[in-house]
Amino acid sequence: MFVDECSVKLAAGDGGRGCISFRREKYEPWGGPNGGDGGRGGDVVLLGDVNTNNLVDYKFQPHWRGERGEHGQGADCHGKDGTDCTMRMPLGTVCIDLATGKPVAEIIADGQRVVLCKGGNGGWGNTHFKTSTNRAPKRANPGHLGESGQYRLVLKSIADVGLVGFPNAGKSSLTTRITKARPKTAAYPFTTLHPQIGVIDFPDERRGDRRLLLADVPGLIEGAHENRGLGHRFLRHIERCALLIFIIDMAGADARDPRDDYKHLLNELKLYDKALLDKPRLVVANKMDLPEFAPNLAKFQRRFKTVDVQEISCLSGDGLETLKKELLKRVTKFRAAEKTSRATPA
C-alpha cells in the first residue's frame, strides 16, 4: 500500500518531577537536602531514511509520543531522561502544522534529523533550594510538559526525472524497460494507481557507477488540476525533479491526436503549478514500431518546432539506450548549474 499523505498527533515526553529528600545518616546530624532532579522528556524526532519510501507506518498509527523522564530520587539520584520517539521519514517529506497551515520541517537528506517536538525539562530537586537561611527546603519543581501538536505529513518524492503522460501512453512500460521497478502493464487502457520510483543504472568503469531516480506519476486526464482522476493527487511528486519527460503515444491510439495530448499535458501542469513549466523537459515519442507513428511525428514536429523529441519503442526496445544517455546528460547538466547557482552569492 502506498501512502503519501496522512495526519499525525505528536507529543514529546514530559519531564520528571524533582525529589524532596534529606540525608539522614549516623554522625551526620546536618546532612541536609539531597533530592535529585527529574529526567528530561524524550523528543519527537523526524529522521530521513533512504530505505523508507512512503508514509504507510503513520497512516494507521497516527499517535506518537516521546518517553516521559523519570522522577528524581533521594541521595542526589537524578531521574533518567526519556527515550526519543524517532519517526523514519522518506526523503521529500514535508511536515505541516495543522494549527497554522505552515510547513515546519522538510526532510531532504538521508540521516537528516529534525526535532519536531521538544521534551520537557525535568524539575529541580530540593537540593537547588538550599540557602543560608533555609537549610531544609521542602520544595521541588514538577517537570515541564513536553511540546505537542497535530501535523500533516506530505510526501513529495525526490527524483531526478519525472514521467508524465496520459493513461496508456507507455509510462509504466518505459519504467519497466529502463529501471528495475515493475509497475503493472497490460494491453488495455488503465492507469497506475500510485507513483513508482525506479532506478536507472549507468555502469561506467572509469567514472564509477551512476544512477538516476525516475518517478512514474499516475496518468493525467483533462481536469486533473480540479481533482479529476488520480494524477492530481500525485503531481507533487514531480515538483522536485530536475527533468520532466512527456511521454506521448505518437501512434495516436484510440483516435487521439498526439499534438492535443501534449498541449493538454502542458495546460494541466500550468494550472497546477506554473513553476513546473520552467523545468527542463523532453518529449518522448513512443510506439515507433507502428505505421501511424511517422506521419503523426511529422505533424507534431511541424506544430512544435522548438520541442526536443526522442523516438522510442517500449515494445521493441528501439531508442531506449539513446534515451538513457540523453537523460543522464541533461540531468547532470541541470544539477551542475543548480550547484553553481547555490554557490554564487546573491
pLDDT confidence band for 184 (50 / 70 / 90): low
User: What is the bridge-based pairing of β-strands 196-202 and 210-216?
Assistant: antiparallel
Collapsing DSSP states into helix, strand and coil, what is residue 210?
A: strand
Residue 222's contacts (CB-CB under 8 Å, 6 or more residues apart) are 228, 264, 268
Stretch 82-102: mean pLDDT, rounded? 92
Q: Are residues 231 and 188 in the same domain?
A: yes
DSSP H or E segment with residue 298: helix 293-303
- For residue 259, report the phi and psi dihedrals to the nearest 5 degrees: -65, -40
Q: Are residues 175 and 272 in the same domain?
A: yes
241 pLDDT above the threshold of 90: no
**Domain CATH code at residue 150:** 2.70.210.12
* Contact between residue 192 and residue 216 where contact means Cβ atoms under 8 Å apart: yes
Beta strands in 242-329 (DSSP E): 243-249, 281-286, 309-311
Q: Across 7-11, 159-163, 336-340, which has the greatest mean pLDDT?
A: 7-11
Q: CA–CA separation, 268 vs 277, rounded Å?
A: 10
188 pLDDT above the threshold of 50: no
Count of CB atoms situated within 10 Å of the CB of 343: 7
Stretch 227-241: mean pLDDT, rounded? 65
Q: List, for residues 197-230, the tens digit of each pLDDT value.
A: 778 888 764 555 578 888 887 766 555 445 554 4
Q: CA–CA separation, 119 vs 96, rounded Å?
A: 20
Nearest to 66 by CA among 38, 88, 44: 44
Domain count, the chain: 2
Q: Are residues 143 and 212 in the same domain?
A: no
Nearest to 114 by CA among 64, 51, 45: 45
Q: Give 22's DSSP letter.
A: B
C-alpha cell at 62: 497516527
Amino acid letter, 45: V
Q: List, for residues 281-340, the tens digit of each pLDDT value.
A: 899 999 998 989 999 999 999 999 889 899 999 888 899 999 988 898 888 888 888 777
Write out the residue range of the structural domain in which residue 38 sits: 1-155
Collapsing DSSP states into helix, strand and coil, what is residue 129?
A: helix
Return the residue matching grid coordinates 537547588: 128
- For residue 275, report the phi and psi dihedrals to the nearest 5 degrees: -65, -25
DSSP H or E segment with residue 26: none
* Contact between residue 52 and residue 77 where contact means Cβ atoms under 8 Å apart: no
C-alpha cell at 108: 531532504
Return the residue matching grid coordinates 512544435: 304
Q: Are residues 290 and 254 in the same domain?
A: yes
Residue finishing a domain among 155, 189, 209: 155
Q: CA–CA separation, 241 vs 163, rounded Å?
A: 10
* Contact between residue 146 and residue 168 where contact means Cβ atoms under 8 Å apart: no
Q: Are residues 211 and 312 in the same domain?
A: yes
Q: Are residues 76 and 165 in the same domain?
A: no
* Contact between residue 209 and residue 201 where contact means Cβ atoms under 8 Å apart: yes
Amino acid letter, 34: N
Q: CA–CA separation, 253 vs 166, rounded Å?
A: 12
Q: Are residues 119 and 218 in the same domain?
A: no
What pTM did the predictor assign? 0.73
Q: Are residues 128 and 252 in the same domain?
A: no
**Domain CATH code at residue 225:** 3.40.50.300
Residue finishing a domain among 155, 190, 207: 155
Amino acid letter, 152: R
Q: Are residues 86 and 165 in the same domain?
A: no
Q: Are residues 235 and 122 in the same domain?
A: no
Q: CA–CA separation, 92 vs 163, rounded Å?
A: 17
pLDDT for position 344: 63
pLDDT for position 85: 95
Q: CA–CA separation, 54 vs 193, rounded Å?
A: 14
C-alpha cell at 241: 525533479
pLDDT confidence band for 126 (50 / 70 / 90): very high
Q: CA–CA separation, 42 vs 116, rounded Å?
A: 11
C-alpha cell at 227: 481533482
Collapsing DSSP states into helix, strand and coil, what is residue 277?
A: helix
Q: Are residues 265 and 133 in the same domain?
A: no
Q: Are residues 145 and 238 in the same domain?
A: no
Residue finishing a domain among 127, 155, 183: 155
